[in-house]
Structure 1
């Protein structure tokens, strides 16, 4: 058979396995486009890429590029040309790769390089740590990045979908957050030159179908505020009221400090590091908001407006208190409601009351009007009003 030809994916795919009785382990063919680029087909039919070259010291050597089809012809040529450029500049890519092999495993890379880096940039680094500990570490922790294949990542993703927590399977969104973290870790390894290809990036995320569309209507919101005012845990009750009144994210208010509160100007500054889009903003406080804040007990030595039980710390997760308040307010479908629903509620009721999308955008500090548009679609009352107006056009 022809041993030297222009590589294409179709021809490499059709390359036969090396015969079982062959003297050599692999059948080797050469590319006419990139000198030194080889494809080796083993006796099992598996195919791998290799670049043969002469080092600066005059020794003939080779460097593995990866397996087909994980790496296709186009990418194999790109990697080979990069190595040849390094050789022309006086560097030995294999020697450099041997040095790379001394670097950490996926687990060591995460703990020693990735995690310390994101601690100063990402507020949700603790979630990343948990996801790595429980899911990614056990699956890939002992491997080096070049050993991770797309097929393995695909199996890992499918395995996540089969796992259960409290008897219920993980949602597509949960699986996606875990896979997204693995993609991000590998992307950082690529940027540092530890691996050529981000294999997890080849795997598509699951389609998410668990987006909450529930929000509280005006009557439910008023009932919840009434309960929150008299709730036994005063701080939790006040936080719920302020979330409804401002449309802020829970973290924005939980970490708000007295240094950022100006009662004379009736404003609360949300600094950039506490916002999702890293842009600071001003929250203007109404009479009801000021009245709610006035009832808050100020704890000596605690800078937070909503103090927690731990000394010097803000209030923690209030999901259980929130659930209790919902039930007291006569709202029973608590499984469909979370703290973020309050932000959703503020926007949706604004639209129902006739506020413009630009006003919703300003109140919730959205970066684009598209973020505000989805709330208009969720307002049943708005849809009903629109339908009635259309009907009125044709009234006889």
Structure 2
């Protein structure tokens, strides 16, 4: 991957006029690595880039007068990429080289190179590597990487919760940063469950401060609510299907389902799929007020997946103990950009929908 941002990190403006790694115009040759591979540069230019090189070439060291400088502790490809960034504003980084570029960029006091490493780590972070990257960044300390990682984790904390890596990799400080979020797509009950499971992997860790964080912060979900309207009625089915009929990709984070039951604790099993493919299968426990006349809504947050236009998705909800039936007939949503068609699971025209709201974000 190449990073090209000529003035973002204060790189020297005059560099484009200088030949890169050109022995015919250079006034210093670096003999790099165990094989002493020659790499060519310009003293004045490097001195302008870094106090490290300014001291090397302007002090009383042998390097200040000799034409050759030995750098045996860095591999040629790493040093060459560092110089490429200084001269051309481009650097080819990979997961295999990024740590060495960071280490030597730090050693040579090249803040612009170090910042490029942070940009690379942030830009290449996704759900597949976010836990490893977030943990790795406790060493680097890049704010831009933490912001990227936390954004992904807060959107997908329930997905992250499903991986043992979460409990093995995430340390106390990292978990504190996660639980400090004021916009997380999960409920407080789910946060407490996560903390309890994390504690079982870190038995000697005192988690009272983390528990206080869970209880002490007023949070919101990091998504919007799309309300379902229609005629309230008794529900005769807990399965239905829907499709996005507008030309939008929509990230779905959860649903809110109607609850009417005298039970103080209800287990809700939610499944969402497409044709024969199951996309979500999750069990939730909802703590319920003991009032048979009150209809509540339980928010079931499960992480993010994308709904594509014109695709039909099915939803199945099961309750234990079973509930007094309630739902919405002729269910519709009203939004200036989003259109949903809600049907019976068998794709009929009408349905008693047990869903009160969708938790979503337009892509």
More helix by share: 1
What is the TM-score of this pair, normalised by structure 2? 0.24
Higher strand proportion: 2
Q: Structure with the greater relative contact order (CA < 8 A, sep ≥ 6): 1 or 2?
A: 2
